[in-house]
Amino acid sequence: MLTVDDVPTAAGALPGVGHLHHLVRHRLRFLESLRRSGPLVRVRLGTAPLYVVTDPVLVHHVQSVKGRSFGRGKQFQRMVPLLGHGLITSDGELYHRQRRTVQRAFTPDRIERHLRAIHGRAERWCASWEEGRPVDVLHELKGLSTAVTAETFFSGRMPEGVLRQLGAVLPVVERAAVERPMMPKAVDRLPLPPVRRGNAAMARMRALVREAVAACREHGASGEGDVVEHLLAARDPDTGRPLEDELVCDEVIALLIGGVANVPATLAWAWFHLALRPGAEERVLAELAALGGAPPGMADLERLPYTRAVMFETMRLHSVQLVTQRTIADVDLGGVMLPCGTDTAYSLHALHTDPRSFPHPRAFSPERWLPHSGREPARHTFVPFGGGRFKCVGDNFACAEMMATLAAIATHWRLRRPAGLRVRVSVREPIPSPAGLWLVPRRGRG
């Protein structure tokens, strides 16, 4: 049996900073390169070791097969002062109680109820676009996603002014949540501009959410079955007590971050790829035309296999950069004994671009996801929402939201790539996002 001392260290570490300069300067390329060093690789964050799992089978063991031996890692613990104790950061028994409660807000019938509101909000949002006038697609989709999330969480009871303020602070909070866990802990106590901005944005966001939750409690149930209404009515399955308002706020913040950070980036990349592949866009449009322009329900989404394949392929190419977990017991991982308290990590981005699992990994090929294509990857090699007990609780809702939004906008607009467009990949959010993605709206099939 090997020990952690036998695990190879990634090349390029510098005294004092370890591999931090690689993670700052060319993070995605560095994460992809680790698979060449072996299935388990030591990376140094400053002087602290982090054992990165690069083999898809071993990632599956971390998530599921041996998942009970792994808890939240330092990435999530470092986010607690910023985000609170919501589902994103909690662990242990608190996490399990929260998950059982929040899961009930994302049942298929509740998602079905929200789809019409999502479709309607998306149609109204893009109605202000002007033909031929370029739009910053990621910026537009972030605003739309914030509005959609507020609509489904608060049944439209959140004032537009509060919505605009949320939209302004959310990107700052997202960046802080991604960047701080990779920096030495001492950074949190330094009066650096990024630290001050993140703290101020989080304080403002918490105040806005606290105010909205208090208003919902005061005015009582809306009858729409929204997420906040469900959380306020929930009872702890063990004690029978309602959730404290501060914990409800933590949950709302966690769900806002999860929804507004990842959904817009994925949708923006989807339009980027469709703008490059007119043939793929035509296949999506043909499927949507069969719906007759009506808002899609859950059953209708099942009739859009190519559209779903486009979303899957987009999520494959653009995935969460790094997920950390810490062993809570001694565990044998691939023949290496990891002691209790060992910090581990894996990159969904690197996992989903591994040529061993995905031939031609850089190519945008929705066809690999079509039923009976003979190319569909093994299940454990594609986990865009994570896996095991820490799998994203809103995965089905996120997929439905993305497909409903795509259907609403594509029914009215084609987004064309202008000559000379240069898109930069930004790693300042959980999912690398397309910066500078200005596309030109055209009506019809022009």
Assess contact for 147 and 405: CB atoms under 8 A. Answer: no
Find the range with the poorest average confidence among 94-98, 117-121, 240-244, 275-279.
240-244
Q: What is the pLDDT of residues 285-316, one digit of tens each?
A: 999 998 887 888 899 988 999 999 999 999 99
Q: pTM for this structure?
A: 0.91
Q: Which residues pair with 220 in a beta bridge?
A: none
Given a cut of 70, is residue 225 above it in pLDDT? no
With CA atoms as reference, report the closest residue to 149 among 237, 262, 5.
262
Task: Name the residue with tokens 């322009």.
Answer: 293
Confidence grade of residue 135 (pLDDT, cut at 50, 70, 90): very high
Find the range with the poorest average confidence among 116-120, 138-142, 303-307, 339-343.
116-120
Residue range 376-398: mean pLDDT, rounded: 90
Query: Containing domain of residue 399, as a range?
Result: 2-443
With CA atoms as reference, report the closest residue to 401 among 173, 164, 110.
110
pLDDT for position 113: 83
With CA atoms as reference, report the closest residue to 421 among 26, 28, 136, 129.
136
pLDDT for position 56: 96
Helices H / strands E in the chain, number of each: 17, 13
With CA atoms as reference, report the closest residue to 65 among 380, 417, 413.
380
**In angstroms, rounded to a whole number, what is the distance separating the alpha carbons of residues 335 and 330?**
12
pLDDT for position 446: 43
Confidence grade of residue 110 (pLDDT, cut at 50, 70, 90): confident
Residue type, 152: T
Residue 37 token pair:
């060093």
3-state helix, strand, coil in the chain (%, to 5): 55, 10, 30
Q: What is the pLDDT of residues 272-283, one digit of tens each?
A: 999 999 899 999
Given a cut of 90, is residue 439 above it in pLDDT? yes
Residue 39 token pair:
């299935």
Side-chain-side CA neighbours of 339 within 13 Å: the count stands at 5
- How many domains does the chain contain in total? 1
Between residues 397 and 34, which one has the greater pLDDT? 34
pLDDT for position 317: 97
Q: How far is CA 257 from CA 23, 54, 106, 280, 350, in A?
A: 22, 26, 16, 30, 22
| Helical segments of 290-377, H only | 298-301, 305-317, 348-352
DSSP string, 59-109: HHIIIIITGGGEEE-HHHHTTHHHH-SSTTT--HHHHHHHHHHHHGGG-HH
pLDDT for position 222: 58
Q: What is the pLDDT of residues 143-166, one digit of tens each?
A: 898 888 877 777 666 777 777 888
pLDDT for position 47: 87
Mean per-residue pLDDT over the chain, rounded: 88
79: Cα separation from own chain's centroid: 15
Find the range with the poorest average confidence among 62-66, 78-82, 427-431.
78-82
Confidence grade of residue 210 (pLDDT, cut at 50, 70, 90): confident
Residue range 343-348: mean pLDDT, rounded: 96
The three-class DSSP label of residue 167 is: helix
Between residues 67 and 198, which one has the greater pLDDT? 67
Given a cut of 70, is residue 80 above it in pLDDT? yes
Residue range 339-366: mean pLDDT, rounded: 95
Confidence grade of residue 384 (pLDDT, cut at 50, 70, 90): very high
pLDDT for position 220: 66
Given a cut of 70, is residue 223 above it in pLDDT? no
Residue range 319-344: mean pLDDT, rounded: 95
CATH of residue 30's domain is: 1.10.630.10
Share of the chain above pLDDT 90, in %: 50
Between residues 313 and 232, which one has the greater pLDDT? 313
Assess contact for 56 and 354: CB atoms under 8 A. Answer: yes
Q: How far is CA 44 from CA 15, 176, 182, 315, 382, in A?
A: 10, 21, 11, 28, 27
Assess contact for 414 and 442: CB atoms under 8 A. Answer: yes
The three-class DSSP label of residue 176 is: helix
The alpha-carbon radius of gyration of the chain (Å, integer) is 22
287: Cα separation from own chain's centroid: 26
